[in-house]
Structure 1
Amino acid sequence: MQDIKANAPRILLNWPTPPDYIPPPQLSDRQVSLCPKRRAKGFGLNFVNLSKELVECPEGDYDLYDFVQQSEQITNKEFDLVIVWTSSFDQSNPLNTRKFKCPTLLLAGDTHHWKFPINHLLAYWAAEGFDYVATAYNFQHLHWFAAAGAENLAWLPLISMRTVTHDWVEDRENQVVFIGQQGSRHPRRCRLVQAIKNADLPILIKTANRQEAAKWFAHSLISFNCSQNGDLNLRNLEVISAGGFLLTDQLSFASGLDELLAPGTYCDTYNSEAQLLEKIRYYLDHPQEAIQIARRAYHTFDQHWHPRHRIQNLLDWVFGGELPEPFRYSPRSDVRYFVSTASSAWIDTRLGIYEPIQELHRVQERLRVFVGRGCPGVIAADLLDLPRLELYVEEGFGDPCALLQQKGVPERIHEVRGEPSSWPSFDAVVCTVGDLQRLGRPVRANFAFVLAEDHQLLLANASKLMEAVLPGFDFGKLRFSVKLYPDTVFYERTYLNFPVFLSSQVQTVIDIGAGVGLGSVCFRGFCPEAAIHCFEVDPLALHLLQQNALGLGNCFVHSVGLAGQNSCRTCRLWPEDPQAKWGVEQLLPFREARAALKELGLEFIDVLRVATGGDEVEVLANLQPQLRDIKVIYVEFTSEQDRKRIDQMLDPSHLLWQEEVSQGNYGCLCYLNRCIFYESSGNL
């Protein structure tokens, strides 16, 4: 092997990220960077200038070795190191990397979101047999690779950052600046930005390229950042390198944030909406404290955090075996190392629990999870790297690896006592069959993970969260990307045949039983100015609805079902035996429809949709006094009897505009107000 100190190594880098968003890091002067064809020209983001040195490669899975051998652009086919950056989100998995007869390194991309993100990379790592594995954003996930058998593991924080600096600015605008993405992939970020606006705090919200962003960071007193899902994202050092004062979300003890940026010294953090607003107000009133922290970090960046240091760490590690703490992953760098690797036999079960709960954590502000006494302690260790997860345990919790000594952990572990009927309703429970039988009464939760005696999963209803797909819907010049489950039922012909001559008159849409929000997507496409209110009680549907609503704008989600009267219904998750007095059940709240809408000031409705899976007649009967004034009514039905009753109820005031029947007696009806139709018919 050549002396890399005397001669830069020849590196082959697979880089699937659009280069105008995040360009490939320059690891060597003798580097060949590959990018999939559709991404190599960029997505028109213009965040950074496009590199002219990229070699376009195939999309998806492809034979990397054969591609290089056949490429006319790559004249020298020999390499000293092959690096693949990929994730389940990137959908680019070069194959046959071992055939290059040189070290290979997997740079694990986003493992904090998307479909089975950790499982995907573990399978890819095992199939290709990479010599080294490193992560730039998710130190907390390296223990999964260790448990799977990987030995050479490293944390190279933000090695992918393209540095854009700015001259130091002393006099600043007394404001918060936020530069970054929002939308359905960043629900918490959207909530917090809205909270800052609602609090009447001065905030500047921008989409900017790297040079413009550096200017705003340097000239604003506070630079607000929020991770997508507990990841150490690029914005942290982008703010600091420009001289901005970084106010970012508190990550977990396992993220590496505390070791890298020492909150209180080089940045500050918040752990809730209330604390974020409190700290913004404090620094707006004490600007010199923010500037002092920013100055300290700005002058430290070049010496310690510049990406060139992590690039050198990578080269020293691969070619010289040298990697200092805390960048080398080892038992000293993660208190969970031994318990995780010792529990490698249960890795499928552990990931079957962790990945769906991680996905819930991405969307929800706080997550309450109960772990039964009979479960392996490693499950608690896995889950506690989600920073907003509150762990509920029974009395006598056995700490598997000094978790209670880690920063931010003790206050997130709560003991429950007494009978389950006195416990709160949880977002998720993880229990063995023995736990549930011993407790004797149902535990209430939205999602359940039930383990057999051998710790294999018997039930994991949250696994469906990981199956969501993201198709697009076009309405003229508008395009919406919508998350839905593969088995989502959608009466396309009925919903896409909206009476468009009424679109400009629609101000309020009520979607009862909104599901994942497909109906509301259509209403937004046809009625761009309307306020949409979605009511949904099913936890699986709510998870996607809350995200889809963010992409629609002016769309409000109410986590409650509407019915003919107030009630609290239970839905048994496990076991299926209705006679069992123990197990796990969902507790689903329902409000009387008319009273709930009146409380929200929603008595005047232009478009109503009712799709409650069998309660449609009950809901319509409750809203009977309001029906005659509603312009358009969509109703789904689940029996021929209900279809006839719906028609009888609406016929006096509405005419049938569209009907669609499928799956036997299932279908959808669209009714148009008779008076409005006749008044408008002259203009049709």
Structure 2
Amino acid sequence: MKDTKTTAPRVLLNWPAPPDYIPPPLLSDQQVTLCPRAKGFGLGFANLPEDLVECPEGDYDLFDFVGNSEKIPDKEFDLVIIWTSSFDQSTPLNSKKFGCPTVLLAGDTHHWKFPVNHLLAYWATEGFDYVATAYNRQHLHWFATAGAENLAWLPLISMRPIAHEWVEVRENQIVFIGQQGSRHPRRSRLVQALKEADFPILIKTANRIEAADRFASSLISFNCSQNGDLNLRNLEVISVGGFLLTDRLSFASGFDELLVPGVYCDTYDSEGELLEKVRYYLDHPQEAIEIARRAYHAFDEQWHPRHRIQNLLDWVFGGELPEPFCYSPRSEVRHFVSTSSAELLDSRLGIYEPIQELHRVQERLKVFLSRNCPGVIAADLLDLPRLELYVEGGFADPCALLQQRGVAERVHELTGEPASWPVFDAAVCMVEDLQRLGQPVKANFAFVLGEDHQLLFTEASRVMETRLQRFTINQFMCVIRLYEETFFYEATYLNFPSFISDISEVKTVIDVGSGIGLASVCFRGFCPDAVIHCFEADPLALHLLQQNALSLGNCHVHPVGLAGQNSSKTRRLWPEDSQTEWGVERVLVFREARTALRDLGLERIDVLRVATGGQEVEVLASLEPWLKDIKVIYVEFCSEQDRKQIDQMLDPSHMIWQGEIIAGQKGSLCYLRRA
């Protein structure tokens, strides 16, 4: 075995991110680093390796690439390390041909398209000798269940520290440096809450050196994970002497063992607790500074990434890996129950990954688990820190989970009939339990298991099947998420009548039946100063709408439909037979349009869109007293009869400007006020 304490191993690192965006870690003095082409982010990252080699995009043969590269004269390596995630630009193959140990450094498994499944499939294809994670210790049990044996948690091994002297006198402010927008919906909501609370807060993007200065000189450094992950910002703040206030992660994340809240940082669980703690530390600055001082002095000895790099090398070349970095039955309370249910791996991930994606976007998730569901599903789900689990009486704790910090208060036992239960964000049910209950369980998404505990039905996986689309409209540019089958009347909405003389006076846009928000993207491009209000009842559309609204800015989402009167509609999710008295059904809530808008103070409307899939006439009738004053009205219709009725209703005050009609039965029309 190579003695890594005296001789640096020759390492081949495949790094997925452009080096001017996220610089690769230096794992050895004898390292060759492969990276995709730099994208020119211009953030000024320091200490970039000089021996970077540009690698191909997409799938490529790593062994052949190195063998044919003139930039890599020495083709022999002691260790091959590949860092990858489900969204990376390149996927190296045939790493085993080098004849040396191979390590998969699992990147982000907490977001994007089926991220855990993607990494498991890649691990199986390449046959890696070792698997480690830097951000998501809570997901190592999935690799153990799939059959991986050498597993490690190497927290934030990829961090590139910036040296900074201690700063004693600080600005009495909160600093937030990082990304917001659709990828970070919770973070965006919390930043907005801090602004609305009128706290002194500095919000900006910055290169690593400038960020270090801000963290060190501000009283509070705010952080929020993307989705329960231990992200780099935690140690970046601490390493330069900042006081870290970050969100509370799950019992399985390892956060509490690493940073110890109350000693080296502080944490919050909700918006209310965040505001309370910010207020407290602004009033008690010395307490924040003392916590930051302890962490600053402990960083070099305990958390500096060089320790995790040495752990990695000692593990591979010497078989040594200390607690808590070695993943084993001793380090994970769920290990046995997870690995002993390996035959359910596909069904379990079919439940976990869509619910994890819902968790990324929603502040709190209510998930129902019927009585005879395998207990391992509860063990899987409860590492999502803001998930509330509802179970029938008789729920058996699968692995002493309720004794873990922050878990017991998130598990609720249900009594009574299903009619008295809440509407759940997701319901996981055995067929036999649904039949026994005899009444429908109400949920936005359903997961139904058969007698063999395999997944029979779900449509929730659609929340994972999205793509990104860039829009540029009238000099406004944004990137939004779409479902693959999204349909849109482009010709109608991309020809907004921007020639009208009072376009600058368009202050309020109402989008009824917003779907995922494509029409609102157009409205933002043509009406940059308008406040947009989106109304949508369908949970699948809402999942993307809530994210896309963040890209538009000044766009408010209301999770309710508008109609001619207050009502609710149920949609049978499973079984489809509407005559069956048991099953899972979705409840869509509608409010009478004029009352709902008046309650929000939205009596004055400049642009109105109505696309409700059949209730357009009723919505327009509800808003009839206001229609004559609306500058532009868009209406989609589903029948020729509705189209004629809509035209009669709007003809006294508006004229048709343009539209699209498909086979005479459906389409979209744009009306301009005659005045």
- Give the structure-2-normalised TM-score: 0.98
SS in structure 1 of the partner of residue 148 of structure 2 = coil
Aligned partner of 1:265: which letter? Answer: V
How far apart in 1 are the matches of 2:342 and 2:490?
46
Aligned: 1:551 with 2:544:
no
How far apart in 2 are the matches of 1:613 and 1:44?
46
- Is the Cα contact below 8 Å between 2:474 and 2:526 reproduced in 1? no
Aligned partner of 2:572: which letter? Answer: R
Q: Deviations over 1:399-448 (max 9, x none)?
A: 00000110000110100001011111111110010111111111111111
Residue 573 of structure 2 corresponds to 573
Give the Å deviation of 1:18. 2.2
Q: Deviations over 1:235-260 (max 9, x none)?
A: 00000001011111000000000000
How many residues are treated as equivalent by the alignment? Answer: 673
Give the Å deviation of 1:348. 0.4
Q: Deviations over 1:563-589 (max 9, x none)?
A: 000112211111111111111111211
Q: Deviations over 1:197-230 (max 9, x none)?
A: 1111111112111111111111111111100000
Give the Å deviation of 1:41. 4.6
Give the Å deviation of 1:476. 3.9
Residue 260 of structure 2 corresponds to 262
Alignment of 1:93-492 (within 5 A): 93-492=91-490
How far apart in 2 are the matches of 1:357 and 1:48?
38
CA gap of 1:569–1:48, structure 2 versus 1, over 3 A, is farther
CA gap of 1:666–1:45, structure 2 versus 1, over 3 A, is farther
- Is the Cα contact below 8 Å between 1:500 and 1:526 reproduced in 2? yes
How far apart in 2 are the matches of 1:376 and 1:644?
55
Aligned: 1:68 with 2:66:
yes
How far apart in 1 are the matches of 2:198 and 2:606?
32
How far apart in 2 are the matches of 1:645 and 1:46?
60
- Is the Cα contact below 8 Å between 1:19 and 1:42 reproduced in 2? no
Show structure 2 runs of 5+ residues with no match: none
Residue 57 of structure 2 corresponds to 59
How far apart in 1 are the matches of 2:157 and 2:384?
23
Aligned partner of 2:368: which letter? Answer: F
How far apart in 1 are the matches of 2:669 and 2:474?
24
How far apart in 2 are the matches of 1:213 and 1:97?
37
Residue 510 of structure 2 corresponds to 510
Q: 2:90 aligns with which of 89, 92, 96?
A: 92
Aligned partner of 1:228: which letter? Answer: Q
- Is the Cα contact below 8 Å between 1:22 and 1:160 reproduced in 2? no
How far apart in 1 are the matches of 2:465 and 2:653?
42
- Is the Cα contact below 8 Å between 1:21 and 1:48 reproduced in 2? no
- Is the Cα contact below 8 Å between 1:42 and 1:50 reproduced in 2? no
- Is the Cα contact below 8 Å between 1:41 and 1:50 reproduced in 2? no
Aligned partner of 1:640: which letter? Answer: E
SS in structure 1 of the partner of residue 74 of structure 2 = coil
Aligned partner of 1:304: which letter? Answer: Q
CA gap of 1:183–1:49, structure 2 versus 1, over 3 A, is farther
SS in structure 2 of the partner of residue 450 of structure 1 = strand
- Give the structure-1-normalised TM-score: 0.97
Most deviating of 646-655 and 139-148: 646-655
- Is the Cα contact below 8 Å between 2:23 and 2:45 reproduced in 1? no
Alignment of 1:574-653 (within 5 A): 574-653=574-653
Residue 78 of structure 1 corresponds to 76
Residue 528 of structure 2 corresponds to 528
Aligned partner of 1:349: which letter? Answer: S
- Is the Cα contact below 8 Å between 2:660 and 2:667 reproduced in 1? yes
CA gap of 1:274–1:102, structure 2 versus 1, over 3 A, is same
- Is the Cα contact below 8 Å between 2:104 and 2:132 reproduced in 1? yes
CA gap of 1:661–1:163, structure 2 versus 1, over 3 A, is same
CA gap of 1:204–1:401, structure 2 versus 1, over 3 A, is same
- Is the Cα contact below 8 Å between 1:384 and 1:409 reproduced in 2? yes
How far apart in 1 are the matches of 2:69 and 2:586?
57
- Is the Cα contact below 8 Å between 2:367 and 2:389 reproduced in 1? yes
- Is the Cα contact below 8 Å between 1:571 and 1:587 reproduced in 2? yes
Give the RMSD, CA atoms, in angstroms. Answer: 1.2
SS in structure 2 of the partner of residue 618 of structure 1 = helix
Most deviating of 64-73 and 654-663: 654-663
SS in structure 1 of the partner of residue 58 of structure 2 = coil
- Is the Cα contact below 8 Å between 2:514 and 2:534 reproduced in 1? yes
Q: Deviations over 1:165-207 (max 9, x none)?
A: 3111111111111111110100100111111111111111121
Residue 561 of structure 2 corresponds to 561
Residue 656 of structure 2 corresponds to 656
Aligned partner of 2:80: which letter? Answer: V
Give the Å deviation of 1:48. 4.2
Most deviating of 172-181 and 304-313: 172-181
- Is the Cα contact below 8 Å between 1:22 and 1:161 reproduced in 2? no
SS in structure 2 of the partner of residue 315 of structure 1 = helix
CA gap of 1:42–1:133, structure 2 versus 1, over 3 A, is farther
Aligned partner of 2:147: which letter? Answer: G
- Is the Cα contact below 8 Å between 2:508 and 2:605 reproduced in 1? yes
CA gap of 1:664–1:128, structure 2 versus 1, over 3 A, is farther
Q: Deviations over 1:523-577 (max 9, x none)?
A: 0011111100000000000010000000111000001000000112211111111
Residue 682 of structure 1 corresponds to none
SS in structure 2 of the partner of residue 500 of structure 1 = coil
Aligned partner of 2:93: which letter? Answer: L
Residue 3 of structure 2 corresponds to 3
Show structure 1 runs of 5+ residues with no match: 676-684
- Is the Cα contact below 8 Å between 2:181 and 2:188 reproduced in 1? yes
Aligned partner of 2:604: which letter? Answer: F
Give the Å deviation of 1:460. 1.0
- Is the Cα contact below 8 Å between 2:84 and 2:107 reproduced in 1? yes
Aligned partner of 1:54: which letter? Answer: L
Kindly, what percent of the aligned residue pairs are identical?
Answer: 77
How far apart in 2 are the matches of 1:664 and 1:341?
57
How far apart in 2 are the matches of 1:625 and 1:398?
58
Aligned partner of 1:482: which letter? Answer: I
Aligned: 1:519 with 2:519:
yes
Aligned partner of 2:646: which letter? Answer: I
How far apart in 2 are the matches of 1:240 and 1:82?
31
Give the Å deviation of 1:51. 4.1
- Is the Cα contact below 8 Å between 1:182 and 1:189 reproduced in 2? yes
CA gap of 1:262–1:305, structure 2 versus 1, over 3 A, is same
How far apart in 1 are the matches of 2:648 and 2:161?
67
Most deviating of 599-608 and 500-509: 500-509
Aligned partner of 2:189: which letter? Answer: R
How far apart in 1 are the matches of 2:89 and 2:370?
36
- Is the Cα contact below 8 Å between 1:22 and 1:162 reproduced in 2? no
Most deviating of 556-565 and 196-205: 196-205
- Is the Cα contact below 8 Å between 2:359 and 2:387 reproduced in 1? yes
SS in structure 2 of the partner of residue 380 of structure 1 = helix
How far apart in 2 are the matches of 1:232 and 1:664?
54
Aligned partner of 1:112: which letter? Answer: H
Q: Deviations over 1:603-638 (max 9, x none)?
A: 111111111011111111111111111111111111
SS in structure 2 of the partner of residue 469 of structure 1 = strand
SS in structure 1 of the partner of residue 467 of structure 2 = coil
Residue 678 of structure 1 corresponds to none
CA gap of 1:518–1:49, structure 2 versus 1, over 3 A, is farther
Residue 539 of structure 1 corresponds to 539
